[in-house]
Amino acid sequence: MQIERARNFLRSKAATSPLLDLGDDEFLAGLEAVRDGRVTHTGLLLFGRRDVLASRCPQAQFHYVLLRDETTVARNDVDRLPLLEIVERIDNVFEGPLNPEEEVQLGLFKLRIPQFPIEAVREGVLNALTHRDYTDPGEVLIKHSVDELVIVSPGGFIAGITPENILRHEPRARNRTLANAFVKLRLVESSGVGRKRIYRSVLRYGKRRPIYASDAHSVTLRIFNRGANPRLARIVSELDARGAPVTLDHLLVLDALLRTDFIDVAAAHEVLQLERDEARAALEVMASAELGLLERRGHTMTATYHLAKGGGYRAQGQGGVHPIARPESREICRDDA
């Protein structure tokens, strides 16, 4: 059943993959679930039965908690399951009524915005399952409330990755064979774009930037359900339609400007996790005539960049208010900080 589940995942992503033409034995060997006639750790985690996982890898525990409020648990699932079944179960949770959508009118069409974008949830869970420390007795924990989603993975960051460089650091795998199997099944990317995908899928709606935290024992990802910003969503949609997509760098800067009146190169250097020259170049692109998202004030190394007002698609703002900064959003951000 788990082998067929793996085939279905792959078929949905890459229907022409040569792996799909293989028999079960060759399919397992292609994923390195079996090597030299022996089941690998990856094979156990992907295809092992519950009872076998409990006896051979008891630390492979998955825990999902749904909180109705701060003190009331509505659902508390603890289990040891093959990893692809975990991914499927989480997809079912966040594609259903436990992850309601807000409908926002954008001109002539409506945009449906979930509390937690499924793309961000899936990438966060896949990262936790792929890169956790399986020698650690801890569990992968997902804590789900209306306000935020918290994903905790046993084992700290490896190979120099930190919350301050996670967007730019080259990907590193603690469990190389397992990571390769997920790549072959087209569930993750080998280039590390999954981390950026988490940020972009949230920020494009104007929701608060996700936060990573780490110590020697665990990595924690927090994804927030701050109300969407319809004007920012409109700008992203209109620029995409014009063939001038808003990149992750643009969204990170716009997110920072929801909490302050301006940004300079020094602040952009930290927000974007880029060198100062690269950060300045990103700000200049946003201030260009093509995008017109920012206005530059000053022409020296101390120039500041502000949200643009009026003009073109930016004219959706009313009464001189910045088109993507709702008056209440700054209040919320001050509280969050």
CB 75 within 8 A of CB 67: no
Same domain, 20 and 153: no
Same domain, 175 and 197: yes
Same domain, 208 and 254: no
CA distances from 258 to 77, 194, 228 (A): 37, 25, 12
Q: How far, rounded to the nearest angstrom, does the alpha carbon of residue 139 sit from its chain's CA centroid? A: 20
List CB contacts of 246: < 8 A, sequence separation 6 or more: 204, 235, 236, 239, 240, 254, 291, 293
We report the CATH number of the domain holding residue 328 as 1.10.10.10
Same domain, 143 and 281: no
Amino acid at 234: R
Same domain, 246 and 183: no
CB 173 within 8 A of CB 131: yes
Provide the token pair at 134. 């399986």
Same domain, 211 and 247: no
How do strand 218-224 and strand 34-35 relate by DSSP bridges?
unpaired
Same domain, 214 and 72: yes
Tokens 């209109």 belong to which residue? 238
Report pLDDT for 222.
Answer: 97
Q: How many domains does the chain have?
A: 3
Report pLDDT for 327.
Answer: 38
Same domain, 81 and 48: no
Instruction: Flag whether 229 is in a domain.
Output: no
Report pLDDT for 148.
Answer: 95
Report pLDDT for 329.
Answer: 37
pTM, two decimal places: 0.86
Report pLDDT for 324.
Answer: 55
| Consecutive 10-residue averages of pLDDT for the chain (337 residues) | 96 96 97 96 96 94 94 94 96 94 78 91 95 94 96 92 91 91 91 86 90 94 84 78 84 89 95 95 91 88 85 36 43 34
DSSP H or E run through 100: none
Same domain, 49 and 68: no
CB 247 within 8 A of CB 272: no
Domain of residue 193: give its range.
62-224
The C-alpha atoms of residue 212 and residue 124 are separated, in whole angstroms, by 11
Report pLDDT for 322.
Answer: 44
DSSP state of 21: G
